[in-house]
Amino acid sequence: MPRTSHETNHLRKIIEAFPRVTVAVLGDMVADEFVFGEISRVSREAPVLILRHRERTIVPGGGANAVNNLADLGVNVLPVGIVGTDEPGRMLLRAFRHKRIPVSGILKDKDHATTSKTRILAGMPHTWRQQVVRIDREPESELSVHMARELALATREYLRASDALLVSDYGYGAANPRILAAAMSRRSGSIPVVLDSRHRMLEFSGVTAATPNEPEVEEALGIKIGQDWNALSGAGAEIVSRMKLQSLLITRGRDGMVAFSEKHKPVDIPIFGGDEVTDVTGAGDTVIATYTAALATGAGAEDAAHLANYAGGIVVMKRGTATVSRDELLHAIEQAPPATRSH
C-alpha cells in the first residue's frame, strides 16, 4: 500500500543528512573493465565473432563501487582495502582521487594483483552492446599476515571518525571475518556495522545489519525459498537470530526487498520502477551503500530499506557498473511514495 507525503518528507530529511555523516568501508577493491567492440565478421580460424575495438573503460567495482556510491550520495567516505601496483590498481586510486575520496587507507602491494573483471561487449553501430564473455583476474595467494594486520589497523583508525562501517566481502581476502574482528577489538561506542558477504555471511560476528540477496540466504541456510512467504520470513528471522543482527535486508530482484528487524514484523517492499531491468551489475553495492548511509544518519531499518529500494530501482536501469546520486534519490521519492505489500 502507498504511504503518505509525511513519510516522503521524512525520507527527504534522511537523504539531506547524508553529507553530515561519515562511513568507513572495509572492502575488496575490484576494477571493473569494459571493452566495447563492433562486430566486424566471423573469424576464419574458428566459429567466433571478430570485434573491432572501439572503447575501453575501467571503473570501481565490488567494494570500490560501494565507496563510489557513497561518495555520489554525498556521504563522507573512508575506504580501506588493498590494490596492486598494476594498471587496474592505479586506475582505482585515480578514480577515488578524482572524487576527492581519501586513499590513505588503501594499501598498495607489489605482490598483490588487483582483482579485475573484464567484460567484453559486442554490438553493431547504433545498437545495444551485449556482454559476450567476462574474464576475471583474482589474487593467487592469501594476504600476508602483515597486510591483514595493516588493514585491521586502518579500519580501526577510521572507525573513530565514522558514523557507520560498511563491510563488502567478495571473497578476495581484504574483508574477511578475522580482519573485521581484529578491527573491532577494543572498540568503544556503538555504530552500525553493515555486511554484504558473497559466501560466508554466517562466519562474521559483531555486525549489526546485513544485506544479502535471496540466493545467498538460501546458500547460507541450505534451503529453497521460491515464492513461499513463510519460508522467507522464517529464513530472515533465523539469520537475525544466529547473527544477533539489529536489522536485515534481503534483496529479491524484481520481487523487491524484505526488511527485518529485531522487534517488528518483516516488511515486504515492491521494486521501485519497472521490472524490465537493464543491467544488475553492481546493484548490490548501491543497495548496501544507501542502506548504510541511511542507518548512519540514525534512520530506522524500514526507512533505510525504502531508500535502498529506490536506489536499487534506479541503478538497474543504467548500463554497466553505475551509481545513484543524491539528486536522483530525491527525485525518485517525489515520483512515488514508499510502498509495502501486506501478507
The contacts of residue 328 (CB under 8 Å, 6+ apart) are: 314
| Total residue count of the chain as it appears in this document | 343
284 by DSSP, 3-state: which?
A: helix
Within the chain, residue ranges assigned H as helices are: 5-16, 63-72, 87-98, 145-159, 177-184, 214-221, 229-243, 283-296, 301-315, 326-335
Q: Could you give the maximum distance between any two Cα atoms of the chain, in Å?
A: 66
- Burial, 198: exposed, middle or buried (Cβ in 10 Å; 0-12, 13-18, 19+)? middle
303 catalytic residue (yes or no): no
**Backbone φ and ψ of 49, nearest 5°:** -75, 145
Q: Which of 111, 285, 303, 327 is catalytic?
A: 285
Q: Please give the positions annotated as active site.
A: 285
